[in-house]
């Protein structure tokens, strides 16, 4: 039985659907039991646990062949990343108690970077889980194509997307969450020893200009990408309610300056199948 955290989200949901499609038993780990009904109807066991709570997590992982860890996103962390550290401590304690046969943990492109940034939260998770006694795989996907959900309204209504990724013609590795879930399902069913890192991107890289062109195709209207100047970010993010914009700004710097990227050579990075246009089509049809 595979215990899947984050199952009500994009990656966890895609992963669970892959496992269920091939008849594998799944335990849906949810924090809100009312959100588990759809998974119970598909034949999943249900366990309720918060990623911050070691005892409920340990119970949710008990007897599992494999556990999938989806660290919750925290876009505005307090200095020192206390939110991520609480999750890391809880997950580590739960894995040590439940001792599942193996673990796949969702990490990120750039988790190996030395500079402190938003993704340091995953660097810390990787450091902690490297000490676990069972085999652990870190799946490091590229920038999610689904992040373009933030751009659909402005592209559709105004023909513009505001780009923090720059320059506008610099290709960025991107991947669909459906591919992330599919690959995570494959990894969970494999046998390996020790710690491994698997990096994943989509079929082709996309620059912000390519994203705008793809949105233009899907929306059937002109769309252009526009740079959001670096010196405006901090004030802008604070206006949007962020209290600690620096980690997010440094993450964007990392992509733009090139110190956030894949660790392995390009022929070792796995390639997904889902094209950007497919994801954008789904995002646009969801908005209509
Ligand atoms: N966006 C990117 O470009 C990118 C790139 C690489 C890696 N990642 C990683 O991808 C992950 C996000 O994946 P996603 O897009 O599939 O997420 P998502 O769709 O936002 O779903 C998040 C899931 O986590 C659950 N969750 C959140 N906080 C929780 C908590 N405290 N306790 C228990 N469950 C909790 C949510 O449950 P509810 O339904 O109850 O809210 C939901 O199932 C993050 O770890 C991020 O670092 C993202």
**Residue 6 in contact with ligand 1 by CB distance below 6 A:** yes
The pLDDT of 84-103, averaged and rounded, is 98
Task: Determine the distance separating the centroid of ligand 1 and the alpha carbon of 220, expressed in angstroms.
Answer: 31
Segment 102-113, tens digit of pLDDT: 999 999 999 999
Which atom of ligand 1 lies nearest, measured to the CA of 8? 43
Residue 143 beta carbon below 6 angstroms from any ligand 1 atom: yes
Task: Express each pLDDT in 263-280 by its tens digit.
Answer: 999 999 999 999 999 999
Given pLDDT bands bounded at 50, 70 and 90, which one contains residue 287? confident
Q: Is 17 in the pocket of ligand 1 (CB under 6 A)?
A: no
How far is Cα 25 from Cα 39, in angstroms, rounded to an integer?
Answer: 12
Which residue's CA is the closest to the ligand 1 atom numbered 15?
A: 10
Closest ligand 1 atom to 121 CA: 47
Q: Is 108 in the pocket of ligand 1 (CB under 6 A)?
A: yes
Ligand 1 binding pocket includes 13 (Cβ within 6 Å): no
Domains of the chain: 2-144+175-202+261-273 (3.40.50.720)
Ligand 1 nearest atom to the CA of residue 52, by list position: 31
CB 232 within 8 A of CB 211: no
How many Å is the maximal CA-CA distance in the chain? Answer: 55
E-strand ranges in the chain read 2-5, 26-30, 45-48, 66-69, 102-106, 136-141, 143-144, 160-163, 174-175, 195-201, 224-227, 270-271
- Average pLDDT taken over every residue of the chain: 97
Q: Is 70 near ligand 1, meaning CB less than 6 Å away? A: yes
Burial of 153 (0-12, 13-18, 19+ CB in 10 A): exposed
Q: How far is the CA of 257 from the centre of ligand 1 (A)?
A: 26
Check residue 288 and give its pLDDT: 67
226-259 tens-digit pLDDT:
999 999 999 999 999 999 999 999 999 999 999 9
Ligand 1 contact via 217 beta carbon (within 6 Å)? no
In this structure, which residue's CA is closest to atom 2 in ligand 1? Answer: 144
Average pLDDT over residues 170-190: 98
Evaluate if residue 115 carries a pLDDT over 90: yes
Q: Which atom of ligand 1 is nearest to the CA of 106?
A: 45
- Which residue's CA is the closest to the ligand 1 atom numbered 29? 72
What pLDDT does 99 receive? 98
Question: What tens digit of pLDDT does each residue of 13-69 get?
Answer: 999 999 999 999 999 999 999 999 999 999 999 999 999 999 999 999 999 999 999
- pTM value is 0.98
């Amino acid at each position: 039985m595979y215990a899947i955290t984050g199952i009500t989200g994009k990656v966890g949901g895609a992963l669970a659907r892959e496992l269920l499609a091939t008849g594998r038993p799944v335990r849906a780990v949810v924090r809100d039991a009312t959100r588990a009904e759809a998974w119970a109807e598909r034949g999943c066991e249900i366990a309720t646990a918060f990623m911050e709570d070691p005892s409920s997590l340990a119970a949710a992982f008990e007897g599992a062949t494999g556990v999938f860890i989806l660290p919750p996103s925290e876009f505005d962390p307090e200095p020192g990343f206390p939110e991520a550290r609480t999750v890391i401590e809880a997950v580590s304690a739960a894995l040590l108690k439940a001792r599942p046969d193996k673990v796949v943990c969702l990490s990120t492109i750039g988790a190996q970077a030395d500079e402190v940034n938003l993704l340091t939260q995953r660097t810390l998770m990787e450091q902690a889980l490297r000490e676990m006694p069972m085999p652990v795989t870190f799946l490091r996907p590229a920038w999610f194509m689904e992040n373009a959900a933030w751009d659909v309204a402005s592209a559709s209504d105004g023909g513009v997307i505001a780009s923090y990724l720059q320059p506008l013609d610099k290709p960025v590795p991107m991947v669909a969450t459906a591919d992330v879930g599919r690959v995570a399902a494959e990894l969970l069913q494999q046998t390996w020893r020790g710690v491994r890192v698997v990096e994943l991107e989509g079929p082709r890289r996309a620059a912000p200009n390519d994203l705008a062109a793809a949105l233009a195709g899907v929306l059937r209207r002109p769309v252009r990408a526009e740079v959001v100047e670096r010196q405006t970010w901090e004030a802008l993010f604070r206006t949007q309610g962020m209290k600690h914009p620096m980690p997010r700004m440094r993450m964007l710097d990392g992509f733009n300056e090139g110190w956030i990227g894949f660790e392995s050579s390009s022929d070792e990075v796995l390639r997904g199948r889902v094209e950007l246009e497919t994801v954008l089509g789904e995002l646009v049809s969801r908005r209509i």
